[in-house]
Amino acid sequence: MPRRLAAVLAAAALSFGLAVPTALANPAEDAKKEADQQLGKARDTLDNSSVDLSDAQAALDDARSRLSQARDELERIQGELAEARERDEQMAIRLSEAQEKLEQAKAAVAANQDRVDRQRALIGDVVRDQYQQQNGLVGMAMVVDSTTAGTLQTRMQWSTTMFDTAQAKMDALSEAQRKLEAAKKKQAEAEEQAEEDRRAAAANLADMEQLEADAQAEESAIADLVATNKRAEADLAAQVQKDKNRVAEMEAESADAQRKLDEYAAEQKRKAEAERKEREAAAKKRAEEKKRAEEAAKKAEAEKKAKSEREDKKDDDEKDSGKKKAEPAKKSKSSNSRNATKSSRAAAVSPIAPGDYRISAVFGQTGLWARYHTGLDFGGTGTGTPIRAAKDGVVMSSSAGGWAGNHVILRHSNGESTLYAHMSRKKASRGEVVKKGDVIGYTGSTGNVTGPHLHFEYYPRGATPGSVYSAKDPRAWLGRNGVRI
């Protein structure tokens, strides 16, 4: 309960001289408590949703950061890919050049092979001719058989020419073979270089493809993460807005309940003030009536005394027996006058009018009850006998049900309470101000009873009406307030 409201109700209770029991709560206050509880729950839900949204936003920020990093990485990979493509182009050029060199080397090998073959063919022809002509002996014969010096010289020149020609062809063949081997070696080197360039180009191409695939996969994964986080953020934002709307509704309900509670407190204060003035007026009226009654009693007593003195003086000659008879009558009249005055000053009345009841069970009695009897039973009433307020007070409860059946609880100005149970019918309503002797209901047999009667209980200040074992002896309380049962 807010402090301001508690202060208002406390002031109203003090000015009214009453304490509101826990069992008789104000519906507006109950509505306010319920609204505050719902508001607290709604605020807790909003706090949790806000934390979730904050976490989602942090995750989205992290995903965006990772996406930025991924894009940086993609840009780096794309740079490497561009470099790889440039290397691929260069390798393609080198491979083309190597292929061209290889073709040239192959052509050179083929040309040299052709020259070697031709040289071998020529050498073969020379060898074959010499073999057929037996050139080694023919040459010698040509020298030996020379008949003249001129002939010898001619034959020797011819023989030398033939040997020189064969040697030249052999030398040409060796050179052709040497060039052929060189061309083959160059061709092998060109082929090896071309193969190496092809392997490098294939590896570079595989690297490019892997880099490009990795970059695309990373970008796709991060994009999916960002999209997922965006959806989560949107869902949580919608939930937070929903929770905010709920909190606003709960705040409005709480404010409305507070307004009703303030109105109730103001009404209670107004009623308390009106009742205080009414009590003051009633007290003033009673004081004036008491004063007039006392004055009238004094005057009557004085008149009676004067009359008695006159009678005593007049009847001086009466017999002693006559005087003795007159004296008790005089005392009886004086006693009745005093009893009437005392009854008018009593603070309470019997809840059932004298002569209409008999006491059927007293406080503390055992037997039919779980522990002991907690009140005073006015039996012999039948159903429908008027039940009176034992003392001035306010009706704090007018209820039905439970062990007490139809019952009324009165709270008195000093904080004490009285309970009237088993009524057949209630006449007083909650919040009604009653005076001692006012009829608040009628005897009956509702609740846990064996027959129609009034079960009357007394609760001292601080005790809770209805908590039966906090009740005290009602007969003693009535006695203290001037009622003899």
Q: How do residues 396-412 score in pLDDT, each as one tens digit?
A: 999 988 999 999 999 99
Q: Quote the domain boundaries for residue 463.
A: 358-480
Looking at residue 23, its pLDDT comes to 39
Higher pLDDT, 143 or 29: 29
234-243 contacts at long range (C-beta below 8 A, 24 or more positions apart)? 236/49, 236/52, 236/53, 236/56, 237/53, 239/49, 239/52, 239/53, 240/46, 240/49, 240/50, 240/53, 243/42, 243/45, 243/46, 243/49
Looking at residue 366, its pLDDT comes to 93
- Comparing 131-140, 360-369, 462-471, the range with the smallest average pLDDT is 131-140
pLDDT tens per residue, range 350-401: 999 999 999 999 999 998 888 999 999 999 999 999 999 999 999 999 998 8
pLDDT tens per residue, range 71-130: 888 788 788 878 878 887 887 888 788 788 878 888 888 888 888 788 788 777 766 666
User: How many Å is the Cα radius of gyration of the chain?
Assistant: 68
Looking at residue 184, its pLDDT comes to 87
What is the CATH number for 465? 2.70.70.10
Residues 114 and 238 in one domain: yes
Q: Among the three residues 243, 278, 313, which one is the final residue of a domain in this structure?
A: 278
Q: How far apart, in whole angstroms, are the C-alpha atoms of residue 124 and residue 136?
A: 16
Residues 264 and 381 in one domain: no
Residues 28 and 149 in one domain: yes
- List all residues 6 or more positions away from 472 whose beta carbon is below 8 Å from its beta carbon: 363, 458, 459, 460, 463
Residue 338 lies in a domain: no
What is the CATH number for 139? 1.10.287
Q: How far apart, in whole angstroms, are the C-alpha atoms of residue 13 and residue 97?
A: 112
Higher pLDDT, 262 or 313: 262
Residues 33 and 169 in one domain: yes
Residues 120 and 6 in one domain: yes
CA 451 vs CA 163, 306, 360, 424, 474: distances in Å: 169, 55, 11, 11, 21
For 123, phi then psi, to 5°, come to -65, -40
Residues 247 and 363 in one domain: no
Higher pLDDT, 321 or 234: 234
Which of the four pLDDT bands, split at 50, 70 and 90, describes residue 133?
Answer: low
Count of C-beta atoms within a 10 Å radius of residue 441: 25
Residue 239 lies in a domain: yes
pLDDT tens per residue, range 289-336: 888 888 887 887 787 677 666 765 665 555 445 444 444 434 434 443
Which of the four pLDDT bands, split at 50, 70 and 90, describes residue 28?
Answer: low
Looking at residue 217, its pLDDT comes to 86
Average pLDDT over residues 447-474: 95
What's the CA angle centered on 336, arms 331 and 342, to 5 degrees? 125
Average pLDDT over residues 27-45: 76
Q: Among the three residues 235, 261, 278, which one is the final residue of a domain in this structure?
A: 278
pLDDT tens per residue, range 165-191: 767 877 887 888 898 889 888 888 888
Residue 67 lies in a domain: yes
When divided into structural domains, the chain yields a total of 2
Residue 24 lies in a domain: yes
Residues 385 and 263 in one domain: no
> Mean of the per-residue pLDDT values for the chain?
79
Residue 92 lies in a domain: yes
Residues 79 and 220 in one domain: yes
Looking at residue 99, its pLDDT comes to 83
Residue 314 lies in a domain: no
Residues 233 and 370 in one domain: no
For 22, phi then psi, to 5°, come to -60, -35
Q: Among the three residues 230, 260, 278, which one is the final residue of a domain in this structure?
A: 278
